[in-house]
Structure 1
Amino acid sequence: MHDDLTTSQQDLLARVLQHGGVLSAPFGHVGEDSQLPGMLKDIDRLEAQGLLRVLREARGAPERLELTEAGYASLGMT
């Protein structure tokens, strides 16, 4: 894995991988202890780094995550 990725970013990439390289919303659970706000930041960062392709709904919220070739490589899968 890339050394410059945070643990939560690595976990998110691994979670997408566990779902066959594609993960559909919802990405976190709702409520007081929701992980969604932090996950949205990770999604944006991973997309900016080219590790994820993000399909967004009309309002801009992520709807589907796909690993890119670089995303697979960051997980050591080339």
Structure 2
Amino acid sequence: MPKAIYRSEYEVFLTLLRDRRTTAGLTQVECSKAMGRPQSFMSDVERGTRRLDIIQMHDLCKVLGCDLVELVQDFVSGIRAQE
């Protein structure tokens, strides 16, 4: 099985994060700043060059104003829609 970053599911995840950020009305810079990270943080995440651990995902959800469990459910729905 290929590494996660090369699988189609990872693109679903990245698209979901971008959509959540734009729905929240935040730029990459604003989102990075709210997390106390450098400007390039969200750019790297959304391009798939930086991966998030569960704690960072929880923090990101707070910034985006969404629920982590809901985000995961939407991710699973997105994968199923590809099948």
Per the normalisation by structure 1, the TM-score is: 0.31
Considering fraction of residues, name the structure with more helix: 2
Per the normalisation by structure 2, the TM-score is: 0.30
Larger RCO: 1 or 2 (CA < 8 Å, sep 6+) = 1
Q: Which structure has the larger Rg? A: 2
